[in-house]
Structures are given as structure tokens and as C-alpha cells.
Amino acid sequence: MEHELKHLGFDVVASDGQPELTGSNAPDAYVIPTQIGHAFYTAVEDMSAVASYLAEGGLVVVLDANHGQGEALSSFVSTALGYQGKVSGAFGKVGVSGAIVWVGYSWRDGEQAQWGSLLRKLIQDFADGAYEAPKQGNAKLHPLHVDSVLEAAVDLAEAVEMKDLRIAFKASNFVQDDGGVDKIALTYAIEDTRAKLAAAKMQEVHAEFYHTVRRFLQKFNADQLEIGMQIFAQGAAGRTRSVVWNTDTDFLQQIAPLAPLQLVDPKKAPCPTTCTACPRTWKGTNTSISVAIFFKEPVQATAVFIKQIRNPGIIRVQFIKWVYPPKGELGANVGKTVYNVTNDPTVCQSVLSIRIGPVQSGIKSAVPASGTQARLPRVLARTAVGGLLITVDRPQRAGPNYGPFLEWVKVSGRVLYPSDPTVYAGQR
């Protein structure tokens, strides 16, 4: 664990016992490793010093204990904060500017990216003063504020056995700047997590997972659930043309199995729900590892969703800049990279969700009535998207039937100056 914290960029000081927790030598965060003995921490260390550290704004991260059924954590929290309720994942108290977070990964099996990212965010945000102590109630983590530093920890801890699957579902990721919920993004994230649970044969934790989602949604009024708009691309390369639109009269003659136009066919039947090949997909090959899809009208995208049904392998997603008239051309029009990884972390039949957010997407910018698709106002032209370029990776010795196989691509956002708004009315 010490190695992972250093790898995350923190200045780590290891201690054989409880370190100095007051004065100028007090750490920004105190991480207590897995307790391996039978004696609880509270029985052998100075808990009054811990309580003072919390009162002065310290963050204590507690790992699991090898003995007992959660009694070590319960004892620690109740002693440090006077907490008498059920142990959850994160604890704050009125009048106490610090907090305790329980992390359910021991690091005995080596570094783990998701838990490392969680630790880094917790410690960094806490040090930056992003945490606000509860203003009412006692030691229970106050009615959760969705912008709380501890929300990520609660989401992970309350997902029960998901921590053993290394599956991270952080509901707070889907809260918009104005407090509403991006329901489209949340829906696809739920489906993605379901696919991962099924792949790991952990159906028995579905109930706990949905409990976590329901608890999250209960924090919001119904009118805060922003459905938003789902936008489908309309064009891609065909049999004989570099771009064919799904409204072209010869669309059915231009489309082919496993080809780019499969990603823009609005009338195709869904593929089977098993992790098998399907002709109604785009398939990556040794000679075709990228696929471009295009919009007929300029789009501001807040999120991108891509479903892969077999051998997921997406490593990069790039925006294609809007140009008028749309010609389906790449070259200098390939723009910002919004997703870039070495290895695709998703599983077959899951949805890759790429959140752009309201700021980078420009979706909150005013749309002047005087603008047109041919002459977008400068503030809109900077963020207008004309398509997506998706690149996949294949193992060096992958066979011709490996794929990856992409079933569909959807975008959450808005269309600028639509020629016929009713075309998008049903895409919600």
C-alpha cells in the first residue's frame, strides 16, 4: 500500500505505530493499514489523539481488519466520533471538520487502479478543502450532498461485494452542475455494471447494487431527473461512397454486414444478448481498426455511449469537427480526443460511457437566433461536433473472427439549429 500511495504522487511517511497527529507534523491524511492482530486499534492506540486530529480537519482512511465481523471498524468510529449507529462506509459529524472513510481493499494483492484512484481523489480533495462537515444530525454521514468528497467512497463501500470484483459504480458522476441527473448516462452505466456482474457470475449482488442506485435517486425530486436527448449519427462509409446517409434512397444497397453503416441504421433489429458475433455490428479487423460516423447537423455532446457485444477493444474516441456542408471527411477535421486508454476495461455486452460534461461540451452556451449551421456563432463553433472516430485494438494474434464488435453508438447532448426538430423528438 505504501508503494501505491507513493506511485499516486503522495509524500508518504511510514510509521510502526500511531504517528504524531497534532501540530505542524500532522499529516494531511492518516491511512491505517489492514489490522492483522486480534487486538483492536482502539485498545492499543491513543484514540483521544485521533479524535483531536479529526476535530482539526484530518482525514482518516481505515482499511479492513483480518479478525471480527466489522467490530474493529465499528469500535474505531464509535470511539473517535461517538457514533452509535450501523457502520457504513464514510462518517462525519456536526462540529467536526474531519471525517473517517472505510476502504474495503487491503492492497495485499498488489496495486489496483480503481481503488488507487479513489484514494487519490479522497486525499487530494480533502486536502483542498472540498469536504463540508454535516450541519445537522450526529455521527451518521449527513444527508448526502452529491458534491461531497465522500460520495465516491460511499458509493463504492455500499456496493457490497462489488469491491471484490473491482467494479466501481459512482452515482455522483452523473450529477450535472445545476444539480440535475444525467439519466441517459446513468441508465447506460447501470447496464454496464449489470453486464460486469453477469460476466463475473455475481447475480446475487444485483439486489444490493440496485439498492445503491435507488438510494442515490431518492435524493432528487422527479423534476431534477433530466432525460436529455439521445442523438444517433446518420452517416458512415458505404459500399461505394465515403459517406452514405441513412436517409439516402440507396441506403439499403450501400449497407453491408459488419460494416460502418450498421452503426447508423435506425431500423435494424437488436443483436442477441449473448457475447457472440452479430452481422448487425461494425467489426474491427487487422486492416480496419477505426470507424468514423457522422452527424448531418452540428451536435454538442455531453456524453458518448458505445455498446460492444464481443471482445471489447475500444482504446480511443475522437470528435470530428463540424464542417458545413457535412461531407464525411476526416484529415484535418479530426479533433479532440475524449477517450484514450491502453486496454479497454469493459466486458462484452456492456456499454462504454464517456462523459464530456456540460462545460467542455458547451451545451450551456446560449444559442443566438441569428446563427445557422453554415455560420455557427464562434462560441458554438468551438464545441460543435460533426462525428466520431472510434479506434479499437486487437491482440497481435487475433483471428479473423475476433472483432471487436460494436453494435451501436449514441450521444447525449443537443443539435444546433436543427432543420427539423421533430426528427429528434423521439430520441429521449
Separation of alpha carbons 410 and 301, rounded Å = 10
Predicted confidence at residue 246, as pLDDT, reads: 96
Lowest mean pLDDT of 29-38, 66-75, 387-396, 403-412, name the range.
66-75
Give the three cell numbers for residue 372. Answer: 445557422
Cα–Cα distance between 262 and 267 in angstroms, integer? 10
Lowest-pLDDT choice from 105-109, 120-124, 326-330, 381-385? 105-109
Q: What residues are paired with 270 via a beta bridge?
A: none
Give the per-residue pLDDT at 146: 27
pLDDT band at 423 (very low <50, low <70, confident <90, very high): confident
The Cα–Cα gap between 183 and 226 comes to 6
Interval 219-266: pLDDT, tens: 544 334 343 578 899 999 999 999 999 999 999 999 999 999 999 999
Q: How many angstroms from the chain centroid is the CA of residue 259? A: 29
Q: What's the pLDDT tens digit per position in 41-84?
A: 777 778 888 888 888 888 888 876 655 556 777 778 778 877 65
pLDDT per residue over 81-103, tens digit each?
776 555 465 566 666 777 777 77
Portion of the chain with pLDDT greater than 70, in percent: 65
CA distance 158 to 205: 11
- Cα angle 46, 47, 50; round to 5: 105
pTM for this one?
0.56
> Residue 25 class from Cβ within 10 Å (0-12 exposed, 13-18 middle, 19+ buried)?
exposed
Spatial distance between the Cα atoms of 155 and 216, rounded to a whole number of angstroms: 9
- As a whole number of angstroms, the distance between CA 319 and CA 316 comes to 10
Contacts of 227 (CB under 8 A, 6+ apart): 183, 184, 428
For the chain, domains (ranges, CATH) are 2-158 (no CATH), 177-227 (no CATH), 229-424 (2.60.120.260)
The predicted structure's pLDDT at residue 375 = 94
pLDDT at 325: 95
- SS3 for 113? helix
Question: Per the omega criterion (within 30 degrees of 0), is the bond before 270 cis?
Answer: no
The tens digit of pLDDT for each residue in 153-177 reads 334 333 333 333 334 455 555 655 5
DSSP string of 226-292?
A: E---EE---EE--SSSS-EETTSTTHHHH--TTSGGGGG-TTPPPPPSSSS--TTSEE-BTTB-EEE
CA nearest to 150, candidates 125, 167, 168: 125
Q: Are 72 and 102 in contact (CB under 8 A)?
A: no
Q: Express each pLDDT in 301-340 by its tens digit.
A: 988 999 999 999 999 999 999 999 999 999 999 999 999 9
With a cut of 60, say whether residue 373 has pLDDT above it.
yes
What is the C-alpha to C-alpha distance for residues 216 and 222, in angstroms, rounded to an integer?
Answer: 12
Most confident residue range from 102-106, 130-134, 262-266: 262-266
Place of cell 487519490: 120
